[in-house]
Structure 1
Amino acid sequence: MDTSRSLTRQSLLVAAVAALLDAAQLVLCGAFGAAPVLATVLTVATTAADLALAAPAATVPLVAVAQVVVKLGVAGFVHHFGLTGRVLDVGFLVAGYLAGAWLSGSRSVLTMLLLAGGSMANNLITGNPVTGPPSIHDPRPLVFAAGAGVVPWLVGRYNAARGAYIAELEQREQLRGQEQRTALDRALADEREAIARDLHDVISHHVSAIGIHAGVARMALAAADIDRATTSVTAVENSSRAAMVDLRRQLDLLHGRDHDGERQPGLADIDELVQRVRGAGLTVRVRETGTPVVLPGSLDVTLYRVVQELLTNALRHGRDPAELEIAYRPGRIEIREANPVAAVSASSELPRGLEGIRRRVELFDGTVTGGRDAAGTWWDITVSVPIGVA
């Protein structure tokens, strides 16, 4: 709103200055001494035509016509009374600029041709102060006159094109800023999702183990089996401590802290993970084939979380024994987990808890395949991730 008002004020100022200068020059050239009434009429007409320069852009062709008519009227007046003073045409030049800056297409060109023709006719009537009286053998007056109509139009066209270019650059910058904000929001959402997956893996694994050990301890106490109850309670304590360690590691990672060189767990920590699952009561058979390779840190952590989720699901939903195979193949690493499950109708869909595995491995162009067998009594899932090693 402030910009619009500023442009309006500037348009009014330009129109008022043009009207003042053109009217003052009519007074100074001696027009009122030659014919006061006619000079007054021409002054009013010139002032009105110049003030019309502040009108909306759609009126520019009409304003150009008014400027040509007034210019030719003043030229005829000066020639008829033999006045030697130069009559200014500030409003005429401004009209040419507006035709180039505000109009487009054929309307702009036709308005420019009208102004150029009016300027040429004016010079043919009054002559040019530089080239002298008009002459059929001297085209210079016509060239100067054409320039008075064309040059302001060209300046207006240039400024209009420059303004459009700047506006396009600003729009591109705004779009770029919106894209950057969108990308940032998407990155934050992905990061929150990754954090949620990590916390789910850590908490569900340890809480599942704690729940199983607590149940065993309750049954052992009911049977007065103190040794078994003590073992289960000890496992609950160890699982709680391990959960706190993993949670602290996750929180430190979120806060950008790395105390005492602690690292995120990877495939090198699988044995410890398997021992905790075995301690919770699930028999796990582990087989590793191929030659282990050094994996990127992010992939190493991801594969550890994948194994953790697979074993947690086997602990919660499966039965003994669970089979875990880690195979290092040319250019790929495959992780397979299988275990018996309660007989239900066969389903090809992955359980909801395994959707996080799919999303994790897809970040590394990996795949997740498998599910229940035809009888619905055996769960078998394979995760395959390329590692770029031939």
Structure 2
Amino acid sequence: MTGFLMARRVSPQSKAFDLLLAGGLTLFFGFLSLAQAQFAGVVGVALLVPLIWRRSYPELVFFGVSAIAVLQWLAGIELQAGNIGLLVALYTISVYGEVRFSRIALGIGGLGVLMATARYWANSDWRQQITMMVAFGSVVFGVWAFGERRRTRGLYVAQLEERAVQAERDRDREATLAVTNERTRIAREIHDVVAHGLSIMIVQADGGLYAADASPEQAKKALATIGDTGRASLTEMRKMLGLLKQDEQNELDPNQPRPQPGVSSLPELVENVREAGLTVDYEVTGTPRDLPALLGLTAYRIVQEGLTNTLKHAGPGARTSVTLDFGREMLTVVVTDDGRGGGVAPSSDAGHGLVGMRQRASISGGTVNAGPKAGGGYEVVAKLPYAGPADQ
């Protein structure tokens, strides 16, 4: 009884359409029924009025209209224009009703065809009876099948929309997790940089203390190193706090800092990639200079990620080039490949690697652009200013 009594959720626009449809059918076909059978034409009107609630109660409307049609058959009232309400109700239940009731409605429609043929064409030739039975049966089944097809299509579209929404949620969640994980890793690496700088300051301070009396010049150099290192460490800390805006629980021992890779470690990285089977050309242009530890680490990680993506996606036989251009105001890092091997096209989706590269570059006030090249291949271009946002 739930399918009969529980109303479907229908939008105001759909309700208004159903009201106009039922009203229009009642005015037109109901008038024809009244003109055709006068008092008996009231039955035709009764078959059309319930269509106002066809989408709210599709099962109740169909079986209600069918009951009126049975009374019409029992009373011997001829078929009228208002009987079109039966077809509209059948279509409605096949689209909006429960599947089990839709199947029952089809059976009732077939039974109605047999009943109508037996009553209204009982005295006709058997050929005419078969013709009318086939004709009415085809109409009934066609209306039901059309509604069933629309139901199936609606369910399919709804599933596609749900999958799209779920995929978008998963993509957003994965992107958020990627950014969070990358920020955590960056914070830990900055922790190592700062801890390494503090260790240098401690060593220089101890050395300067012992050399203060015997060698004032050495003490001055130690103090100068302490000042430079302290300012650099403070700059890195400001960058971290300004971007991440969150506290990180550092699991590393600050008393045992690890050396961080920089641009000086790139030749070793390139050589390791060459040993893995990738052809890599490495070039440095401009006048090399000493870079802040964080900037050097950022350049190293961008090249590392770019080479990793080339190994994954460029295919066998691809050639790769890594270029470091030391300009006047910024370092430009370019990682490019020709993708001539297997030719696996890079995904258009910004993966975790690209998220990480952009996140690292943004800490130093830089940018990363990545995408396919004209003619094939892939290119990553990072522009990293020497003076980061905290230094300006």
> What TM-score results when the alignment is normalised by the length of structure 2?
0.53
Change (3 A) 1:241 1:69: same
Do the aligned residues in 2 keep the contact of 1:265 with 1:301 (CA within 8 Å)? Answer: yes
Give the deviation of 1:56 after TM superposition.
1.4
Partner residue of 2:331? none
Give the aligned CA root-mean-square deviation in angstroms.
Answer: 4.3
Which residue in 2 is equivalent to 1:356? none
Alignment of 1:36-51 (within 5 A): 36=39, 38-40=40-42, 42-43=43-44, 45-51=46-52
CA distance in 1: counterparts of 2:124 and 2:216, whole angstroms:
126
Distance 1:199 1:88 in 2: 81
Select between 242-251 and 119-128 the one with higher mean Cα deviation.
242-251
Question: Hey, what does 1:145 align to over in structure 2?
Answer: 136
Q: 2:219 aligns with which of 220, 229, 235?
A: 229
The farther-off stretch of 63-72 and 155-164 is: 63-72
Structure 1 residue aligned with 2:90: 96
CA contact (8 A) 2:197 2:229 kept: yes
Paired residue type of 2:136 = A
Asked if 1:7 is matched to 2:5, the reply is no
Question: Greater shift after overlay, 191-200 or 59-68?
Answer: 59-68
Residue correspondences, number: 256
**In structure 1, what is the Cα distance between the partners aligned to 2:51 and 2:240?**
74
- Residue in 2 aligned with 1:72? 73
Measured in 2, the distance between the counterparts of 1:50 and 1:192 equals 60
Distance 1:233 1:152 in 2: 93
Deviation for aligned residue 1:24: 0.9
Alpha-carbon offset, residue 146 of structure 1: 1.3
CA distance in 2, matches of 1:237, 1:184: 40
CA positional deviation for 1:66: 2.5
Output the CA distance in 2 between the equivalents of 1:3 and 1:48.
Answer: 18
Partner Cα separation in structure 1 for residue 298 and residue 208 of structure 2: 37
Alignment of 1:46-195 (within 5 A): 46-51=47-52, 53=54, 55-69=56-70, 71-72=72-73, 76-78=76-78, 87-127=81-121, 134-138=124-128, 139-195=130-186
Residues 88 and 126 (structure 1 numbering): CA distance in 2 closer, same or farther, change over 3 Å? farther
Give 3-state SS (helix, strand or coil) of 1:89's partner: helix
- CA drift at 1:21: 3.0
Give the superposition deviation at 1:247.
Answer: 8.5
| Change beyond 3 A, Cα 1:54–1:108 | closer
Structure 1 unaligned residues grouped into runs of 5+? 80-85, 255-262, 271-291, 303-362, 364-390
Q: Percent identity?
A: 20
Deviation at 1:89, TM superposition (A): 2.4
Residue 81 of structure 2 aligns to a residue in which SS? coil
2-11 vs 197-206, which moves further: 2-11
SS in 1 for 2:78: helix
Distance 1:240 1:268, change over 3 A: farther
Aligned residue runs from structure 1 range 181-220, under 5 A: 181-218=172-209, 220=211
C-alpha distance in structure 2 between counterparts of 1:91 and 1:171, whole Å: 34
Aligned ranges for residues 262-341 of structure 1 at < 5 Å? 264-267=262-265, 293=272, 301=300
CA distance in 1: counterparts of 2:239 and 2:60, whole angstroms: 72
Q: Decide which structure has the larger Cα Rg and report it.
A: 1
Gaps of 5+ in 2: 1-7, 245-260, 275-279, 283-296, 302-355, 357-392
Q: Specify whether residues 113 and 89 from structure 1 end up closer, same or farther in structure 2 by C-alpha distance, changes over 3 A only.
A: same
Tell me how far apart the structure 2 counterparts of residues 8 and 230 of structure 1 sit (CA, whole Å).
88
Q: TM-score, normalised by structure 1?
A: 0.53
Deviation at 1:54, TM superposition (A): 5.3
8 Å Cα contact 1:220-1:226 kept in structure 2: yes
Alpha-carbon distance between aligned partners in 1 of 2:267 and 2:95, rounded to the nearest angstrom: 72
Match for 1:10: what amino acid?
A: F
User: How big is the shift at 1:160?
Assistant: 0.5
Write the distance in 1 (CA, Å) between the matches of 2:202 and 2:62: 86
Change in Cα spacing, 1:7 to 1:44, as seen in structure 2 (3 Å) is closer
Q: Among 226, 239, 243, which residue is 2:229 paired with?
A: 239
Report the CA distance shift for 1:187/1:193 in structure 2 as closer, same or farther (over 3 A).
same
